[in-house]
Amino acid sequence: MRNKIISLLLIIGSIFFVVGCGTESDKTKNTKTEIKKDSVKTKVAEPKISFDRKYDDLARFIAGMPANPGCTIDSAHLKNKEWIKFSKSMEDKWGKYDSTRLKTISDWSKKEITGKSNPFTLFYPFSGPDFLNATIFFPAADTLVLIGLEPRGKTPQINTFSGDSLSKYLNEMERSLFSILNFSFFRTNSMKVDLQSEDVNGTTPVMMLFLARTGHVISDIQLIYIDKKGNIVHDSTATADSIKTKGVEITFTNKDETKAKKLFYYSIDLKDAGLKKTTPEFLTYINHLGTVTTFLKSASYLMHKTYFSVIRSAILNQSDVVLQDDSGIPLSFFTDANWENKFYGTYTKPIPMFSKCFQADLKDAYSDPAKVKKLDFGIGYQWRKNQSNLLLTTKKKK
């Protein structure tokens, strides 16, 4: 009975809204350190940014982590009983998640995703704020581009919170993490509520939490836009023609390292109509990224539909490697002439909600045990171990 209830919640929670076999949700204390802004294969307005520790202090606070010496968070908040309770809860949840999942995926990635030890750009459409899986699977990526329909939000002004408002904020943060820590993906219907509340009002706080919890240090956060030429424009220099495509840019480093990395999140509709008519500048931006590695997980089978053909074509044209579960691009697009396919885990059929997206050719590929490798963790809609699948495909050189 318990499994049936969980499965029902999973199916309901996955809904963007059903369309055929696809769905859609539609510097308080600065150091003197200067971090050079890396090229993102697009033109960036400012060549340098200053390190501002307040963002890292804030990320650790909303992650329930101990404060570093000289923390800029009001000491009264660090002594608040609700935050102490939240911190203990997060430590417990993260400890269980880390011990059962992170190392397993990290070890798999090191073994199977070879040739990706040098910096590269990771392209992760339909991701929501899922920096967590992006960095676990692809730790060497120095530029990460995440895309979803959820708003970008803003950094919380914790020092202005009262006791009651702080408690409310922490409860909302913890609730927003439930599905990713239990099922490996965000439930979009839940995000419509959790990420558009008065306080946790977008993806930025969640990504900050994941950055802190995965051992990264945040040095800067800026609101950004894409102009008509497909270039990044920062909030301070944005004009009327660049406000349609909204995003956030987070600069961070791995712990004990100095080379800056970039995390970009854009709130945008990736349907053909959106990319061709409403926000064509974003398609230009994607083209500017050049060669990318693409990650697709729990993507609601959207690219099985004809009206997501533009983003599908962009991925196929620009990717040298694609890692996806069966909810991404249909196997039929990864022809033997152009791609080297490696299959992992198990494929039987999609969950009932996406039953029309069954792939007979993918089923045939999984019918030969000699061609399929074991997958020691669950991922995607079939989130239980021994029920999940991954396709790792590499473009053949011509």
pLDDT for res 119: 87
Q: Tell which residue, 279, 218, 275, has the closest CA to residue 251.
A: 218
Lookup: tokens for 393: 């495909």
Interior angle at CA 234, CA 214 and CA 206, nearest 5: 25
Q: Global pTM?
A: 0.83
pLDDT for res 258: 78
Q: How many domains does the chain have?
A: 1
pLDDT for res 40: 45
Lookup: tokens for 128: 């929501």
Interior angle at CA 150, CA 147 and CA 154, nearest 5: 100
Its domain, for residue 124, covers 2-395
223 forms beta bridges with: 248
Q: Which three-class secondary structure state does DSSP give residue 153? A: coil
pLDDT for res 19: 38
pLDDT for res 241: 66
pLDDT for res 97: 76
pLDDT for res 199: 54
pLDDT tens over the chain, length 398 residues = 444 444 444 443 443 333 345 333 333 333 333 333 333 444 433 334 456 899 999 999 999 999 999 999 989 999 999 999 999 988 988 887 777 788 899 999 999 998 777 889 999 999 999 999 999 999 999 999 999 999 998 888 887 777 678 888 888 877 777 655 654 444 444 444 444 445 557 899 999 999 999 999 999 999 999 999 999 999 877 776 667 789 999 999 987 777 899 999 999 999 999 999 989 999 999 999 999 999 999 999 999 999 999 999 999 999 999 999 999 999 999 999 999 999 999 999 999 999 999 999 999 999 999 999 999 999 988 877 889 999 999 999 87
pLDDT for res 114: 83
Q: Which three-class secondary structure state does DSSP give residue 198? A: coil
Q: How many helices (H) and strands (E) does the chain have?
A: 14, 15
Whole-number Å distance between alpha carbons of 126 and 123: 10
Q: Which three-class secondary structure state does DSSP give residue 80? A: coil
Q: Which three-class secondary structure state does DSSP give residue 74? A: coil
